[in-house]
Structure 1
Amino acid sequence: MPGPCPALTFTMSESFLPLQQPMDSIPAEIRCAQDYELLAQRFMAPASYAYVAGGSGRDATVEANRAAFDSWAVYPRLLRDVSGAHARVTIGGQELSHPIMLAPVAFQKLAHPRGELETARAAAALQTCMVSSTLASYTLEEIAAAGAFPRWFQLYFQPTREGTLDLLRRAEGAGYGAIMVTLDASIQVASLRALRANFQMPPDCIAANLRDHAAPEVKETVAGDSRIFQGVMRTAPTWRDLEWLMTQTALPIWVKGVLHPQDACALQSRGVAGIVVSNHGGRSLDGAPASLQVLPAIRAAVGEDFPLLFDSGIRSGLDIFKALALGANAVMIGRLQMYALSVAGALGVAHMIRLLQEELEVCMAQAGCVTVTEIDRATVAATAAAKPGSAGNLELP
């Protein structure tokens, strides 16, 4: 997630201090993966929790992401032999023991003093693919050294191509196996929740990968110019920038932040390795459709064989099952990652992943699915809210 609006200011108070420090064991209160969301409010400073939990604007899309999962139900099936079942998948040529990846989440020091280093340890322990953020609070080299493998690097285009190339070359040198370019967050509006909590990034929580980059040049707008169009968006990437990037590396390039089938097809035709159906967890355009709403239309547009990842709103293994049924090959976990990190560091993140995997496997067993590939549209039922043309199942041109 990119940083907050630079205009935010704050005065230090108890809202910037956690009630409890991270634990070195799993709290007895944790009964399911989503419990980490509730418990994290003890372990994160209130202002930091408000920033992480919030999206943008009025959080309309954050709420839509969660509501979309309630628009689908799973069919239980009878007398299926699942004694040889497994949840293994292959993503980008890499076999994973489950379809759960760790999404790129910025500034993880907000949740734990060792931030991304703890997350990397958890990923390594469970052989989960971790996607490290450009805006991580530790460098991509430090995260790689902590052991995350397989590991991918999430790239934000920088104001200059030299800055973008620096990040790309460093990721190649540190053994990252793919580049995930986020394209839906060139401009963000801070959530009212974060504004009302007076959030500002703590001084020790910086974008470590950009520490040696020159500060972006600030150009004054002239009379009649828009602060948005000619200001903030002046250096936003275009199709030309993506096409240029694809000529600069042999690593597979994935694109994150896709919500429209036409964009998905345009990316597919340009040769990207895969896309992530995502609304940035509700942190970009407030009022965008839920990622789950558009997933079936995007799957239909790109065909059955094109790799699709999914994020935004997942809180359980049941949610993962529904995302797989509607077209995803695997999912990425964002906020739950931060919540578990705040509670118990690497142990918490690893435990959260394990809980999600087991919750998914329980659902697979009851639905009679022996492999992830058997989780398809026929395994789920649209509820009344998910009928075509309603909020549950958005139909796009």
Structure 2
Amino acid sequence: MRERDMQPDHLVTVADFQEASRHAISEPAWDYITGGSGDEITVRANTSVFEERRILPRMLRETSSIDTRTTILGAESGKPFAIAPMALQRLFHPEGEIATARAAARNDIPFSLATLSSIEMAKVVEHGGQFFFQLYWLRDRGLMAEMLAGAETFGCRAVILTVDAPPLGHRLRDVRNGFRLPDDVYPANIVSEDDEAAESLRDSVDLTFDTSLNWDDLEWIKEHCSLPLVIKGLLHPDDARAAVEHGADGIVVSNHGGRQLDQAVTSLEVLPLIREAVGPDLELVLDSGVRSGRDVLLALARGADSVFIGRPALWGLAVAGADGVSQVLGILEAELLDAMSLSGTRTIAEAKELAVW
């Protein structure tokens, strides 16, 4: 891209922000955002599967007024998407999670705060609107209980337990780059500024995560927190059924953006199977691969109630902080409105009735 074309006011698609962010941060940091595990087969499939699907539009429907309002995991939202939980955002901008939370509130959508946030919960929630707290299963049960209590105190709408990352996937870009965390970037909900933090994300995970997580552990979370419990990282219909049996209030259908098991199926492919397994009432959020407003519409038509926005938000953050995230969210909204109008859908309910080939 020419230097002029990398200025925020010349960026008109998520792909533009992806390319511009390459020039805004270090190569290792950009690879950390953009890459995945193994040969990145699933990373590529996550986006190509959307390109392979086709919407069957409806005509002669009055679409002068389109309503995208909905509820996501108990939080009111002006659009059917929210910010996904993502770690260590100060790697990409000094304001990190605060900037992303501010942009989410500005655009009337919820924000997900990660366990591995680079800014502690109390500081982030001051700047955002409605939020979710994403939980990893930790060895330190006392620390988990403290974080869950904090989430309730600060008005969190749901707890999202991520279950597909007991160990981290083998991310070859990070290995080749010798990627290490800067001294001033660390998982602030887990360690304090005075602690000796691990150099790499993998070291932090190895030191703190408990790989013994199983279905029976969901009861512990429910005993320590009254918030709705959502399970993130399920792809198999039998696991979705088990989640319902163990009292889950929702599921995030996700392959972790292709950052865990390479050659795992894509979320969009299995979404109809998950919907069939859990029935029409359990809330489903699609995560992994959304790059446009058209993708949002496709996900709704395939069985999702809403979607999570991941890498696009971080590319916006890297380019221009909160303003960059806000611009990316605005692009997604404009594309969604355009796609809904052209497909003859006026509401989220009607979008779910569209046929997809």
Deviations 1:1-21 (A, max 9, x none): xxxxxxxxxxxxxxxxxxx9x
Q: What CA deviation, in whole Å up to 9, does each residue of 1:248-272 have, x standing for no partner?
A: 2111111110101111111112221
Q: How does 1:54-203 map to 2 (within 5 A)?
A: 54-146=35-127, 148-203=128-183
Which among 322, 335, 348 is matched to residue 311 of structure 2?
Answer: 335
1:322-367 deviations in Å (ceiling 9; x for gaps): 1111111000011111100011111111111111011011000010
Q: Is the 8 A contact 2:115 2:134 kept in 1?
A: yes
Percent identity, aligned pairs only? 40
For normalisation by structure 2, the TM-score amounts to 0.91
Is the aligned partner of 1:51 residue 2:9? Answer: no
Flag the 1:32–1:248 CA change in 2: closer, same or farther, 3 A.
same
Instruction: Give yes or no for contact 1:317–1:356 (8 Å, CA) kept in 2.
Output: yes
Question: 2:10, 2:103 → 1: CA distance?
Answer: 20
Q: Report if aligned partners of 2:74, 2:157 keep a CA contact under 8 Å in 1.
A: no
Q: CA deviation at 1:232?
A: 10
Amino acid paired to 1:184? D
Alpha-carbon distance in 2 for matches of 1:170, 1:79 = 50
Alpha-carbon distance between aligned partners in 1 of 2:27 and 2:62, rounded to the nearest angstrom: 48
Question: Quick one: which amino acid aligns to residue 36 of structure 2?
Answer: G
Q: 1:260 aligns with which of 213, 219, 236?
A: 236
| Structure 1, unaligned runs of 5 or more | 1-19, 217-230, 382-397
**Contact conserved, 1:68 with 1:290, CA < 8 A, in 2?**
yes
Q: Supply the AA of the counterpart residue of 2:243.
A: L
Inter-partner Cα distance in structure 2 for 1:235 and 1:292: 27
What is the deviation of 1:233? 8.4
CA distance in 1, matches of 2:355, 2:283: 20
Tell me the SS of whatever aligns to 2:97.
Answer: helix
Q: Which amino acid aligns with 1:107?
A: L
Deviation at 1:140, TM superposition (A): 0.7
**Cα distance change on mapping 1:297 and 1:377 into 2, 3 Å:** farther
Q: Which amino acid aligns with 1:90?
A: T
Matched-pair contact (CA < 8 Å) for 2:140–2:208: no
Q: Does 1:321 align with 2:302?
A: no
Alpha-carbon distance change, 159 to 193 in structure 1, aligned in 2, over 3 angstroms: same
Indicate conservation of the 8 Å contact 2:79/2:108, yes or no.
no
The offset of 1:247, in angstroms, is 1.8
Aligned partners of 2:218 and 2:246 also within 8 Å: no
| In structure 2, C-alpha distance between the alignment counterparts of 1:128 and 1:161, rounded to whole Å | 31
- Measure the CA separation in 1 of the matches of 2:236 and 2:59: 37
Report how far residue 234 of structure 1 moved: 6.2
Which amino acid in structure 1 is aligned with residue 178 of structure 2?
N
**Cα deviations across residues 163-185 of structure 1 (Å, max 9, x unaligned)?**
21121112222221211110101
CA distance in 2, matches of 1:182, 1:238: 12
Is the Cα–Cα contact under 8 Å of residues 100 and 357 in structure 1 kept in the other structure?
A: no
Conserved in 2, the CA contact under 8 Å of 1:100 and 1:353?
no
Q: Deviations over 1:212-235 (max 9, x none)?
A: 59999xxxxxxxxxxxxxx99864
Distance 1:234 1:209, change over 3 A: closer
Within-5 A mapping of 1:351-362: 351-362=327-338
For 2:190, the aligned partner's letter is: L
8 Å contact kept, 2:167–2:211 = no
Pick which of 73-82 and 301-310 moved more. Answer: 73-82
CA distance in 1 between counterparts of 2:147 and 2:74 reads: 23
Counterpart position of 1:239: 215
Write the distance in 2 (CA, Å) between the matches of 1:214 and 1:236: 26
**Greater CA drift, 27-36 or 259-268:** 27-36
Indicate if the aligned counterparts of 2:215 and 2:246 stay in contact, CA closer than 8 A. no
Looking at structure 2, the residues matched to 232 and 56 of structure 1 have their Cα atoms a distance apart, in angstroms, of 21
- In the superposition, relative to structure 1, how do residues 215 and 46 fare at CA in structure 2: closer, same or farther (>3 Å)? closer
User: What secondary structure is seen at the aligned counterpart in 1 of 2:79?
Assistant: coil
In 2: Cα distance, 1:88 partner to 1:301 partner: 26
Q: TM-score, normalising length from structure 1? A: 0.82
Which residues of structure 2 form unaligned runs of 5+? 198-206
Q: Give secondary structure in 1 for the equivalent of 2:280.
A: coil
| Root-mean-square deviation (Å) | 2.2
> Which moved further from structure 2: 232-241 or 290-299?
232-241
Q: CA deviation digits over 1:69-126, x for unaligned, max 9?
A: 1221112332210122211112234331110100001010111011011111111211
CA-to-partner distance for each residue in 1:177-225, whole Å, 9 max, x for gaps? 2111101011123321222222222221100011159999xxxxxxxxx
Which has the higher Rg, Structure 1 or Structure 2? 1
Task: Give the Cα–Cα distance (whole angstroms) in 2 for the partners of residues 321 and 57 of structure 1.
Answer: 30
